[in-house]
Structure 1
Amino acid sequence: MQRRNLILGAVAVAGLGGWALTRTSATPGSTAIVGAANAQSSDADVDTSTITEMVVGDADAPVTIIEYASFTCPHCAAFHQGPFKQLKAEYIDTGKVRFIYREVYFDRPGLWASMMARCGGEAKFFGIADLIYKGQSDWVRGGDPATIVEGLRKIGRLAGMDNDTLNACLQDADKAQTLVAWETENREGDDITSTPSFIINGTKQSNMSYADFKTLIDAELGS
């Protein structure tokens, strides 16, 4: 893969000074990771097998859906506050759909949110993700990076994590580098150019209404 310069390190307030919160690109993978240390690495040098896939649903479900989403994407928030809840009740909880969530990093706050959501492990991930999306309009508009990170910490505390745990997760530079390499590997492998995007039993689909989701899923189920 193409060699990239990754700015890695702490996301604690002390490591955020001097960084302007700007989006340099409207395309996935343009994340600049805030931190105190710089490192130059190739994606090929990073072992992405350490990143856990976040999955909900029966492992033997006949339909697998992979969602590619950004925690700073309003359309992704709308999906998770509406259609996803219907999808979970009707298809995931009933053993018909296995659902995999994969993060896309448009910007630094999206990466920070991802690191925080993963801080609670698999058991808490989807619950924390729901809180992140529910409060997106508040924390993402925090302005300066320190305020945004504090908004994410508040969500983490609501999920039962203490500040020491949250800070350790947010300051994990190695995890940040590995997540970015993992995101690039997945996004480029599935040719993801917008969020939310979905892979339904191997076929890529763009964002859609829940009615259209039902049609596609029912077709895969043969019903």
Structure 2
Amino acid sequence: MSNSPAPKPVHPLARKLRLARILNVVLGAVTAFLLVVVIAQSVPNAGQAATDSTQPTATDEAGTAESGTGSGTGSGTGAEIATRDPNDPLAIGDVDAPVVLVEWADFRCPFCAVVTNQTLPTIFDEYVDAGLVRYEFRDVAFFGEESIDAAVAARAAGEQGRFPEYLEAVFAAAPEKGHPDMPREKLIGFATEAGVPDLAKFEQDLDRADLRDAVLASTAEAQKLGVTSVPFFVAGDQAIAGAQPIDNFRALLDEQLATAGE
């Protein structure tokens, strides 16, 4: 009888990402082939040498299609997950980093606080600050209206360039258990602690309908992708659910960096 360990369960989102990655490879190969055919047909009396000279360019384009990032790194990070938006106020790290780590979190989630307080500092120190990984935050509101309010506040702080500090302030104050209350005065207190420069504007932004709509849209998109619990992470075509040990994150990120050729 075999004593080999049972296979690790795969989250449905990871399956989607792998399927999308395979599809991107196939589409990229088809695109490369069609490009060669078009070029060959469009150049009069083009010989075999001309066809061969176009092949490397077509292969490069196929690689970009596979990565979905526009950077040509071949990291396999799906464009539908990582945005690499240089103007994203909720992202931290080099927009051209080989790997993107996406996190979904609720500001009232105690396990999200554990990851932020105990795990993310190491990830930032070893990977983000080194330019190897970009971190993209996705807010969700799974625990009621005050989850929405807290996410709106974080977005308002982010618009003033203080999202990392606000994230740290909120989760540093989180209790070990339960979902903390997030009244308006508490959210303003976090802004003060985070060094948000224009507190009057921040307080006005807490009532902005567009920020609330953005939080609701982010929550709906997460549910559409199959993210039903937080914290939840995706890097490339791999997913991690829960407050996992730091070594699990290292294994995930190192694997994706190896895929990206780093």
Q: Which amino acid aligns with 1:109?
A: E
Answering whether residue 142 of structure 2 is matched by residue 119 of structure 1, we say: no
Deviation at 1:163, TM superposition (A): 4.8
User: TM-score, normalised to structure 1's length?
Assistant: 0.68
Which runs of no fewer than 5 residues in structure 2 stay unpaired? Answer: 1-84
User: Which of the pair has the greater relative contact order for Cα pairs under 8 Å at 6+ separation?
Assistant: 1
Change in 2 beyond 3 A, CA 1:52/1:75: same
Distance 2:124 2:210 in 1: 33
Task: Select 1:201's aligned residue among 223, 236, 250.
Answer: 236
Does the aligned pair in 1 maintain the 2:138–2:218 contact within 8 Å?
no
Q: Provide the residue aligned with 1:136 in structure 2.
A: 174
Q: Provide the residue aligned with 2:98 in structure 1.
A: 62
Identity %: 27
Distance 2:105 2:215 in 1: 14
Deviation at 1:117, TM superposition (A): 1.3
Aligned Cα root-mean-square deviation (Å) = 2.4
**What secondary structure is seen at the aligned counterpart in 2 of 1:204?**
strand
Q: Which amino acid aligns with 2:210?
A: D
Does the aligned pair in 1 maintain the 2:102–2:233 contact within 8 Å?
yes
Q: Which amino acid aligns with 2:232?
A: S
Deviation at 1:72, TM superposition (A): 0.3
Aligned counterparts, 1:116-195, within 5 A: 116-121=153-158, 123-137=161-175, 141-142=180-181, 148-161=183-196, 163-185=199-221, 187-195=222-230
**What secondary structure is seen at the aligned counterpart in 2 of 1:102?**
strand
Q: Which amino acid aligns with 1:136?
A: A
Deviation at 1:169, TM superposition (A): 1.2
Structure richer in helix, relative to its length = 2
Task: Select 1:89's aligned residue among 125, 129, 144.
Answer: 125
Which runs of no fewer than 5 residues in structure 1 stay unpaired? Answer: 1-48
Q: Provide the residue aligned with 2:110 in structure 1.
A: 74
Deviations 1:15-52 (A, max 9, x none): xxxxxxxxxxxxxxxxxxxxxxxxxxxxxxxxxx9x94
Q: Provide the residue aligned with 1:98 in structure 2.
A: 134
**What stretches of structure 1 move > 4 A for 4+ residues in a row?**
none
Q: Which amino acid aligns with 2:204?
A: A
Does the aligned pair in 2 maintain the 1:66–1:101 contact within 8 Å?
yes
Structure richer in strand, relative to its length = 1
Larger radius of gyration between Structure 1 and Structure 2: 2
Deviation at 1:177, TM superposition (A): 2.2
Deviations 1:187-221 (A, max 9, x none): 03421010000011132221211011111211222
User: TM-score, normalised to structure 2's length?
Assistant: 0.58
Change in 2 beyond 3 A, CA 1:53/1:193: farther
